[in-house]
Structure 1
Amino acid sequence: MHRQEKILLAVLPKNIAFEVKKDMQDTHEERMFHKIYIRKYEDISILFADICGFTNLASEYNPKDLVLMLNELFARFDKVASIHQCMRIKILGDCYYCVCGVPEYQKNHAINTVEMGRDMIEAIRLVREMTLVNVNMRVGIHTGKAHCGVLGLKKWQFDVWSNDVTLANQMESGGLPGRVHITDATRRYLNGAYILEEGNGASRSKFLEKEKIKTWLVVDRSPDYDIVSQETANHPMTIPWKSTRGISKQERLTGMSTRTRGASTRNGLSEEEVLVENVDSHLRQGIQAIHQENWKSMYCQNWSLKYKQVRVENKFVRMKYKDIPFQVTLYVAIVAICIGIKFGLMNLMVFSFIPQAFILLTSIMIFILTRLLMSLIYFSSFIVLITVKLVAIDKYDTLFSVYANFCVLSCLTLLLVVFSTRRSELISRYDFIWKLQALDEQLQMKRKHEQNRSVLENILPSHVAKHFVEDATSVSKLYHESRDNACIMFATLTAFDKFYIECDGNNEGVECLRLLNEIISDFDQILDRDEFRKIEKIKTISTTYMVASGLAGEECADNSHVEAIALFARELLLKLESINMHSFNDFNLRIGINVGPVVAGVIGSDKPHYDIWGNSVNVASRMDSGGVAGRIQVTEEVKSILEPLGYQFECRGQINVKGKGMMTTFFLLPPDDCQCELYK
């Protein structure tokens, strides 16, 4: 339970995770639209960072080693982000982006983000020295506002949307390797903390030129501004990079120097001692509660001891008298046996030479001995006490008669019996309340466990989530698996950038995101069908929907996972056409599919992020980005698998694919009976 909660809160902010779990509990509520989990944040700084020369770096490593290196690098980024109070949003291949000021406002969000960028450039410099590969990092920063939250129904990833986020992304694209590229809006929040120079971003980016964005490059810290003391005031645990010079390059890169991993302790106690202490504490509280009757006024009526809640009283009565039918049955059975024995003995005496008196006396003796053995101690003690008391009273008491004393003694006995039975009833009812509370807590824990599991499986694939929950040490280990014949699909919603407008009429763009949430949620619901159970949603990247199949290994033998992707792509086009008809829009999909080997894994020790890597993934992405709206573009490998199954293709010809050169691609044609206007 605790491990589930820890992983969940590492991926989603606490307020979002709590709201999601609460809504999962209230699934009976009918809604016209899917719930959208988005909040608006003002005065935040957004950082985008991309590894320059990643293709060269990838060529130097096999896929598994590349994932290991990325895991170490991004784990270091996560630790640096924590130091500078930044929140990592997503990892997109070799791109890392984060924000400062979410979910809690940070006064120095701009300075923290610039320091984050400088530390990332230092980290990639260490990679360059260790690998001898010419890699660098391009960092772009912008300050503004954003809508933050999650979209869709599956594989939730915390994300940010706004025009300012788009601008921050373009600042990275128009930046320079090894430099922190900031907008004039960010500069105004730095208060002279850095030495800056003209960035000239418009000369490298058409977007920045079109929007007339003035940019700057960070040169160094300003000697007149004490950034270290400012950081220390905000977070005393900050350790500047210069203080790590004595640490090895490997440790400085990974941020994971050797440390003792002992059992969790509290105040010097071992884990077992802490557990014993907690149990003893609960027992002490329970014993004290027995002697306190405050609970009685909370649950029971003072005189009758009946529970105030009729529902609880009915449960108690049913529990208390549930054995009565059994007891009555047992009593009847015993009486029947006794009667049977009696008649049996009578028949026996008719034909027996044994004197009846002997049998009768024997029966009486057995009965008397049995009764004596059962009640001799209590009965004799009671008789002795009563006799002694009456004799003493008769001999020495001159005020009352024997009859009067007997009445007084009887009344006292009655009061004692009433008090004893009332106390017994009180304890019985108290014990019942404890049992109800224990059952309720157990039910709540089970429900919370199921909620956490459901949310966790909406963040990680079910088999990966199970691996992390069951293995206590797995969170700090790299999880990866190779698949030789995975099928990858990217589908991008076109024209949404023109549709998205931030104005008062649509709540600063929230209503546009609400429609995007509906589209993604409808796509997610298609994945719930049995024919698409082999498909795993990986993530959404802005308006791009990414899925893959064949990640389970055993499902790849007959290539049915490739056909499932093709059918899923067609279903997306049909669904989008229906959405367009009801929302009066003209969105379209640009889809790309490829098949080949991939490495699937989880990177980031503190914030686990599931993704797939490999050349096959890059080619599938290029099939989308270099595709045509309303068409499904596939590689020759996909065509060779689907064509024998009856699918028809149109050869597009050769196109230039980044990292691959010229490639021959094909368009998957719609079936003859297809009525979809979008599917050309």
Structure 2
Amino acid sequence: MVRPHWVASVVVSLLVSVSSVGALAFTQSREYNVHYVKVSLATTATMCAASLSVFLLLIGEQSDSAVYIFSVGAFSLCILVLMITYALVPMPLYIVVAICFSYSIVFEILSAVLIPTLTATVVAVRALLQLCVHLVGLHTRVMTEIGMRNTFFKVGQSLMVRRDLEVEKQLKEKMIHSVMPPKVADWLMATTTEEDDDSATPLEQRKPSTSPRPSQMIFRPFNMHRIENVSILFADIVGFTKMSSNKSAEQLVGLLNDLFGRFDYLCAKLGCEKISTLGDCYYCVSGCPEPRPDHARCCVEMGLGMIRAIGEFDEDTDESVNMRVGVHTGTVLCGIVGTKRFKFDVWSNDVSYANKMESTGKPGRVHISEVTHGFLVDHYHMEEGLPDLNRKTYFIRGRKVAQQMSSRHSWPHTIGSAETGKTIDTRKISCPSNQPGDIEEEEVAPMLPPAHRHSSLSTLNSSRKDSGIRSRQSSMQDTMLPQAKALRFNNNVPVYVSMWEVNIIKLLDMPTPLYAQRASGYCSSYTSVADTGRSSGSSLRGYSIFVDPALMLNESLSRLRHLRKQSDLQMIRCIQQDACTTDYFIRPPVNPVTLFFHDEQMERNYRHRLHHRDLAPTMASASFTTYFDIFVALGFYLAIMFACFVLFDTPLSWLLFCLFATCTHLCIFMLCIREILATRGHWVADCLAQIYRYCTEWYPWHVVGLVLVSLPIGSIFSNFTCAGVLSTPERTNAFCYVVFVSLLHFSNFTQLNFWLRSMLATCAGVVLALLVGLPACPCPLKDPARNVTQPMVISEHGVELPGVSFHRDSYSCNQSAIYEIVLHVVLNTVLVWLLNREFEISYRLSFHGSAMAARDEQRIQAMKNQADWLLHNIIPRHVAEQLKNTSKYSENHRDAGIIFASIVNFHEMYDESYEGGKEFLRVLNELVGDFDELLSKPVFRNVTKIKTIGSTFMAASGLNPKLRRENPHPFTHLYELMDFALTMQQVIENFNQNLLEFNFVIRIGYCYGDVTAGVIGTTKLYYDIWGDAVNIASRMDSYGVPGRIQVPEHCLQVLQEMYVFEPRGSMYIKGKDNMNVHLLVRKKDKVLYRILPSTHRTSLPATAAAEDKEKTPAAAQEPLEEQQQPQESTSVSCEKEEEEVPL
């Protein structure tokens, strides 16, 4: 016969099942993301109502055994509902806590009212056990939330960093390729770092990998290739010296930058590779490093385009300069020499001959060699020139195929306005032509629109004193960043907005924040607020007086909150756009059975860093998780121990176990307290730290954790006796209460392997079933029909229960009661298995996300360091920092020192009959590398390498204002530069000892004076210095004595305090007439720099303080026109027909 309550139970179960299936199906719809809280509330309410509805079964129930069985089953069901709500229902924490506590209160009230066998003591103990369930549930919920959110954040951060990494890589490649060809750049970057993934060394500690790393290496890494059929073009500005006679150095730098920018534009369009500029000499190649069949035609078209371009330049500037172009075709050696301030260059006798073709040419004509003539296939009208060494030469008169002439093209430069401070971009981007027959006249002779005539010098002619070289955007902005226009920011920014907030706003406008960051770092694609204020004629400081500070603070905070929200939304969009993210959460990178990581290295790191102390501790850190687990375990154990003490007798076994468990907990607790205090500097290191580190290793921690997680259930089982637990149904119920609650404690310690914790929970459940179900304790009464009525004592503390009548066989030895208990043991154990598995997956995912994000951050930091290292080998660090903020750099330096050091007999060693001359350049690379290593020494920190020109080494000192202010003497940098020159002579002597039957001879020219330093170029940035002192230093080298250091007479007033000189007499110096020069004899012994008081320093004419106050040239300074070694060397030189006019 079917009992009446069964029908109700089946109906309620069906309703709960249907609602659960419906909620599960609704989770697959798009609307669930909007209404998930409502769905969760409805599901939780249904589950709670269904579990509370079981109390209706007690209405009219007369069987005492049924009441006892119901009490245990209802309490177990309450535990399941609470843990499911805490652990699995997606709702805000405050709603979950409110629902769970309300449910517990209602449940205990109904139990106290409808279950007459519950006494006040049992109700109090049940309330305490309910708090234990809430403690475990809250711990589970909080750590799950932290783990999920940390995983989500780390995965999002990893995705954003990974995306930024790709952009960083592209930006780095574009920057590098703007300086050198991709083939050479790839080799160089491959040698600068060992592995990007493992590189996290700070930039200051990194050593250039171009120095010999393994001790067994004889030579430094060397990249030099011999390429045949390469056309070389040299072009020199005729009349530039005359033009520069009435220009300041700043204007000359601007003019060169404008003109060379046009040449760079032609280079990119016509398939040529720019090599370098030497003063006003420009040279490039075609067919190198990537061969192409039309290399000769590319160079000829480049020469014709340069002639047309300089004609337009004359129209724009009202000048009268012209171009003399020479082209020769032959074999070259291309690569990099040196380890600092290096550049892609070419060497060979054919390069020298191309330079000669230029110097023997005619203004306005392209002078080509006979070899180049053979590659042109009758494309041009030519006339023969004067033969050179029995080799014919030709001048290009024009093209044989008439082409349509175009109007003026837009050149790649910007037009600055001093009135508005805005920049108008006039560039029209067009891709380079890589097809042999695609060279058109409009590509060769681009023209500016008539309306823009003379506008290219608007910045130079403006009255601004802080314009630097030119008021232009960084030349790398358009060539390297196709999306640079997205970084431009409205100039109408409130003046109280700080610059870093502007940066954040810019970053949030970009799809990839690091892209904007790197763009602002390398390319300076925006103008600072202060600079904008100056250029628009407004005073930033004066305007900000009228802004209320409180208003500024409130608006700043509101903006920051908005920016933070926008940043979070951007990360969410990044995760949503990544198709692999869903698979990451659905199919985590762990073994589905063992939950070990698929990657063995990741598993080893996980075990090694299980309790790793984070530098910035958070609630998601491993150390916090460990402390939280231990504190929860301690609180849980104390509650269970108190419940056992109140409910049961206290046998000796229980007392001994409690003593052991309490001591264990206290020891672990004290170790944690000590570690927490030690992290805050309140405890010195001692043996306890070693014990803690040992206990938190992988295997010892599993032993410690399993002991801690088993102590509550152990204290319960140690209290088990047949007379004390199974003698009465109340005690049996109480025993089941505490065991069911203690099973939940096995979901604690998520850092332990879930298999071990779950197996221990299963064992505990099996033990409970065996203790209750097996006849270990015989039934005291054999007559199942006999009723027993007697007062019951729950504990020895005098707590009396009212007399009840029950059938002992109907409960203690009743199979239905045992089945009920076993069923709930199984349900609780399955819940523990589920929770343990999900918690460990969540914890491992959090670790994996953190590890991947950290790895990506290390990779991007390594790439940043790599790019910074390369950037600082192109541009000095202090110059690069200024370029980040102002997008321009031009600065005057007073009393800067310059040296030119030439290996005068390198041409005697160089022989192309052996390996094409490659091995001789390897020797030169070693020598220059030795010179470069000197620059890393602290004693030469004021010395900066400028460049190498063939076998000539150029360096300067006093170009860093910050270092000059820190020097103990105003002329410390000049002394360091002279010491550097003396050390170079020692390096040559040591180097010659390793050469067989050959000795290099070095000749050094030294001078100091006022110079202008600047960054020039559009497609390739070059840092260089210009000025009369530079030319004199070059002449001191060219007219010097091999093996000696030569200085002009005016240098003696500074240097003779430290060094001994001998006069050489008066001699003719090109461009300077007769000059008195001196040769260095030696350095004076035991002479120290004289430290002057600060008041005396500021009064000297050559001080760094005065240098900082003046950023623009006070007088015209002549750019370097002859920075090369003697003509008989294989290096490049640009001879001038005109005399240099001193400025």
State the TM-score, normalized to the length of structure 2. Answer: 0.48
Q: Which residue of 2 aligns with 1:219?
A: 397
1:479 and 2:883 matched: no
Q: Distance in 2 between matches of 1:242 and 1:570?
A: 50
Instruction: Extract unaligned runs of 5+ from structure 1.
Output: 203-208, 343-367, 379-399, 674-680
Q: Which amino acid aligns with 2:1054?
A: I
Residue 933 of structure 2, aligned match among 521, 525, 533 = 525
Name the residue aligned to 1:438.
853
- The answer to whether residue 1037 in structure 2 is matched with residue 619 in structure 1 is no
Q: Residue type of the partner of 2:849?
A: W
Match of 2:339 in 1: 153
1:164–1:256 distance in 2 versus 1, CA, 3 Å: farther
Name the residue aligned to 2:1053: 640
- Which protein has the larger Cα radius of gyration, Structure 1 or Structure 2? 2
Write out per-residue CA displacement over residues 60-116 of structure 1, whole angstroms, 9 at most, x where no aligned residue. Answer: 201111111111111111111111111111111111111112333333211111111
Give the alignment of 1:55-94 within 5 angstroms. Answer: 55-94=241-280
For the residues of structure 1 that align with 2:384 and 2:1062, how far apart are their CA atoms? 50
Q: Match for residue 449 of structure 1?
A: 864
Alignment partners' CA distance in 1, 2:876 and 2:944? 7
Give the aligned residue type for 1:195.
H
Counterpart amino acid of 2:940? Answer: F
Q: 1:316 offset after TM fit, Å? A: 2.5
Report if the CA contact (8 A) 1:527-1:535 is conserved: yes
Rounded Cα–Cα distance in structure 1 between residues aligned with 2:281 and 2:881: 27
Decide which of 184, 187, 195 is 1:16's aligned counterpart.
184
Match of 2:371 among 185, 189, 205: 185
Task: Output aligned runs, 1:233-632, within 5 Å.
Answer: 234=438, 239-241=443-445, 246=450, 248-250=452-454, 262-263=485-486, 272=509, 274-275=511-512, 280-284=573-577, 285=579, 287-290=581-584, 292-293=586-587, 296=589, 300-317=590-607, 320=610, 323=623, 326=627, 330=631, 411=826, 414-415=829-830, 417-468=832-883, 470-471=884-885, 474=887, 478-503=888-913, 506-553=914-961, 555=964, 558-584=970-996, 585-632=998-1045
Q: CA deviation at 1:22?
A: 2.7
- AA partner of residue 576 (structure 1): I
Identify if the C-alpha distance between structure 1 residues 85 and 148 changes in structure 2 by more than 3 Å, giving closer, same or farther.
same
Q: Aligned residues, how many?
A: 599
Q: 1:164 aligns with which of 332, 346, 350?
A: 350
Aligned 8 A contact 2:943 2:956 in 1 = yes
Counterparts of 1:262 and 1:575, CA distance in 2: 49
* Aligned amino acid, residue 256 of structure 2: L
Q: Which amino acid aligns with 1:220?
A: G
Contact 1:633/1:666 (<8 A) preserved: yes
Residue 244 (structure 1) shift: 5.2
Decide whether aligned partners of structure 1 residues 146 and 5 sit closer, same or farther in structure 2, where only a CA change above 3 A counts: same
What's the CA shift for 1:418?
2.9
8 Å Cα contact 1:56/1:134 also seen in 2: no
Q: Give yes or no for contact 2:316–2:456 (8 Å, CA) kept in 1.
A: no
Q: Deviations over 1:458-508 (max 9, x none)?
A: 11111112233x33x71xxx42100121111101101111211123xx422
The amino acid across from 1:418 in the alignment is W
Deviation at 1:241, TM superposition (A): 1.8
Counterpart secondary structure, 2:241: helix
Deviation at 1:531, TM superposition (A): 1.8
- Counterpart Cα distance in 1 of 2:576 and 2:1031: 60
Distance change >3 Å, CA 177–CA 64, structure 1 → 2: same
Q: For residue 546 of structure 1, what is the amino acid of its counterpart?
A: M
2:674 is matched with which residue? none
Seen in structure 2, the aligned counterparts of structure 1 residues 278 and 192 have a Cα distance that, compared at 3 Å, is farther
Contact 2:272 2:287 (8 Å CA) reproduced:
yes
Cα deviation for residue 449 of structure 1 reads 0.8
Asked whether the 8 Å contact 1:152–1:524 carries over to 2, the reply is: yes
CA contact (8 A) 2:1011 2:1029 kept: yes
1:559-604 per-residue CA deviation (whole Å, 9 max, x = no partner) reads 2222222221111111111111211222101111111111100011
Q: CA deviation at 1:516?
A: 0.2
SS at match of 1:653: strand
CA gap 1:434/1:326 in 2 versus in 1, 3 angstroms: closer
Q: How far 1:155 sits from its partner (Å)?
A: 0.5
TM-score by length of 1: 0.79
- Secondary structure at 1:195's aligned position in 2? strand
Greater shift after overlay, 220-229 or 434-443?
A: 220-229
1:262 deviation in Å? 3.8
* RMSD over equivalenced CA pairs, Å: 3.9
8 Å CA contact 2:383–2:394 kept in 1: the answer is yes
| Cα distance in structure 2, aligned partners of 1:88 and 1:273 | 32
What is the rounded CA distance, in whole Å, between the counterparts of 1:433 and 1:18 in structure 2? 32
Equivalents in 1 of 2:306, 2:1047: separation in Å? Answer: 36
Residues 489 and 592 in structure 1, CA contact (< 8 A), matched pair in contact too = yes
Instruction: Give the drift of 1:328.
Output: 7.6
Task: Give the letter for the 2:486 counterpart.
Answer: A
Match of 2:1018, SS state, is: coil
Name the CA distance, whole Å, in 1 between partners of 2:283 and 2:380.
Answer: 22
1:230–1:605 Cα change, 3 Å = closer
SS of residue in 2 equivalent to 1:450: helix
* Aligned equivalents of 1:179, 1:251: Cα separation in 2: 28
- Cα–Cα, structure 1 residues 273 and 165, in superposed 2: closer, same or farther, change >3 Å? closer
* 2:1025 partner amino acid: I
**By how many angstroms is 1:130 displaced?**
4.7
Q: Which residue of 1 aligns with 2:292?
A: 106
